[in-house]
Amino acid sequence: MKKICALLLTIVLLATQCLALAEEAEGTVYENLTVGNPTPMRGEFFTEMWGNATSDIDVRALLHGYNLIFWNGEQGMFIADPSVVTEVATEDDAAGNRTYTLTLADDLFYSDGSKITAWDYAFSLLLSIAPEVDGAGGTSIRKEHILGYQEYIDGSRDYLAGVRVTADNTLQVIIDHHFLPFFYEMGMMLANPYPISVIAPGVVVKDDGEGVYLANEDADVTEPVFTAELLKETVLNPETGYMSHPTVVSGPYTLTSWDGTTAEMAINPYFKGDAYGDKPTIPTLTYTLAENDTMLEKLANGEFGLLNKVMRQDQIMAGIEMITDGEFAFSNYPRIGLSYISFACEKDTVKSQAVRQAIAWCVDRDQLTLDYTGNFGLRVDGWYGIGQWMYGIVAGTFPPPVQEPEDAKDKKAQAEYEAMLKAFEELNLDNLTAYTVDTERAAKLLDKDGWVLNDDGVREKDGVVLDLKMIYPEGNNINESFEKNLIPNLNEIGINLEMEAVPMGELLSRWYKQGDREEDMIYLATNFDIVFDPSVNFKENEEGLHNWAYTNLFDKQLYQAAVDMRMTEPGDALTYMQNWIAFQERFNEVLPMIPVYSNIYFDFYTSVLRNYNIASNTTWGQAIVAAYMSDVEPELEGEAEEIGE
pLDDT digits (tens, 9 = 90+) for 436-486: 999 999 999 999 999 999 999 999 999 999 999 999 998 888 889 999 999
Distances (CA, A) of 600 to 9, 94, 324, 399: 12, 49, 21, 20
| Pairwise CA distance, residues 66 & 439, whole Å | 53
**What gap in Å lies between CA 40 and CA 17, rounded to an integer?**
33
What pLDDT, on the 0 to 100 scale, is given for residue 581?
98
8-state DSSP, 146: B
What average pLDDT does range 254-268 have in this prediction?
97
Cis peptide before 181 (omega within 30 of 0): yes
- DSSP 3-state assignment of 567? coil
pLDDT confidence band for 402 (50 / 70 / 90): confident
Is the dihedral angle over the CA atoms 602, 605, 611, 612 positive or is it negative?
A: negative
Q: In this prediction, what percent of the chain has a pLDDT beyond 90?
A: 76
pLDDT classification of 75: cutoffs 50, 70, 90: low
Residue 418 has pLDDT above 80, yes or no: yes
How much is the pLDDT for 508? 85
Q: Among positive and negative, which fits the CA dihedral 264, 270, 275, 281?
A: positive
Spatial CB neighbours of 530, under 8 Å, sequence gap ≥ 6:
71, 78, 184, 187, 336, 618
Query: Given a cut of 50, is residue 51 above it in pLDDT?
Result: yes
Q: What is the mean pLDDT of residues 17-37?
A: 67
Please state the length of the chain: 645
- Residues whose CB is less than 8 angstroms from the CB of residue 30 and which lie 6 or more positions away in sequence, other chains included: 282, 608, 629, 630
The strand pairing partners of 87, in sequence order, are 103
pLDDT band at 74 (very low <50, low <70, confident <90, very high): low
Q: What is the C-alpha separation between 108 and 272, in angstroms, rounded?
A: 7
Residues 186 and 69 sit within 8 Å (Cβ to Cβ)? yes
Give whole-number Cα distances, 642 to 634, 639, 645, in Å: 20, 9, 8
Strand (E) or helix (H) holding 131:
helix 131-135
For the chain, which domains are there?
A: 6-43+251-327+607-629 (3.40.190.10), 65-234 (3.90.76.10), 337-402+431-599 (3.10.105.10)
Are the beta carbons of 169 and 106 closer than 8 angstroms? yes
Distance CA 262, CA 36 (A): 9
Give me the phi and psi of 264, to 5 degrees please: -110, 135
391 CB contacts (<8 Å, ≥6 apart)?
384, 385, 398
* Cβ-Cβ contacts under 8 Å for 529 (sequence gap 6 or more): none
Judge contact between 338 and 525, C-beta under 8 A.
yes
* pLDDT value of residue 537: 86
pLDDT tier at 629, thresholds 50, 70, 90? very high
Reported confidence tier of residue 225, pLDDT bands at 50, 70, 90: very high
**Nearest residue to 630 (alpha-carbon basis) of 612, 607, 598, 597:** 607
Task: Write out the E strands in 7-72.
Answer: 32-37, 69-72
Whether the pLDDT of residue 95 is over 70: the answer is yes
Closest by CA to 183, choosing from 559, 584, 577, is 577
**Partners of 333 in the beta sheet?**
601
The reported pLDDT for the residue numbered 7 is 43
Average pLDDT over residues 120-140: 95
DSSP-H helix ranges across 494-555: 504-511
Write the CB contacts of 496 (distance below 8 Å, at least 6 apart in sequence): 458, 466, 467, 468, 490
Q: Which helix (H) or strand (E) holds 121?
A: helix 118-129
Max mean pLDDT among 176-190, 495-509, 511-525, 591-605 falls in 591-605
Contact 322, 396 (CB under 8 A): no
- What 8-state DSSP symbol labels residue 287? E
pLDDT at 10: 41
pLDDT of 6 over the 70 cut:
no
3-class SS at 112? coil
Q: How far apart are CA 77 and CA 71, in angstroms?
A: 6
Residue type at 135 in one-letter notation: G
CA separation for the pair 233, 239 (Å, rounded): 10
Higher pLDDT, 160 or 541: 160
What are the C-alpha distances in Å from 394 to residues 253, 332, 397, 428, 534?
Answer: 39, 21, 8, 5, 19
In which element (H, E) is residue 548 found?
strand 546-548
Q: Do 351 and 345 touch, CB atoms closer than 8 A? A: yes
Intra-chain end-to-end CA distance of the chain, in Å:
36
> CA-CA-CA-CA torsion for 422, 423, 426, 428, nearest 10 degrees?
-140
The answer, yes or no, to whether residue 62 has pLDDT greater than 80, is yes
List, as one string, the DSSP characters of 361-429: TT--HHHHHHHHHGGGEEE--SS--TTSHHHHHHHTSS--S-PPPS-TT-HHHHHHHHHHHHHHHT---
Q: What angle do CA 305, 310, 312 make, to 5 degrees?
A: 140
Q: What is the pLDDT of residue 21?
A: 40
Cβ-contact 420, 426 below 8 angstroms: no
User: How many Å separate Cα 336 from the centre of its chain?
Assistant: 8
Average pLDDT of the chain to the nearest whole number? 91
Among 292, 320, 300, which residue's Cα sits nearest to residue 376? 320
State the number of CA atoms in the 13 A half-sphere of 315 facing the CB.
27
**Nearest-angstrom CA–CA distance, 322 and 316:** 10
Average pLDDT over residues 394-404: 89
What is the residue type of 459? R
**Exposed/middle/buried for residue 120 (C-beta within 10 Å: 0-12, 13-18, 19+):** buried
The reported pLDDT for the residue numbered 36 is 97
Residues of the chain above pLDDT 70, percent: 93
Spatial contact of 124 and 165, defined as CB atoms under 8 Å apart:
no
Rounded CA-CA distance 377/398 in Å is: 18
pLDDT of residue 190: 93
**What is the average per-residue pLDDT within 97-118?**
98
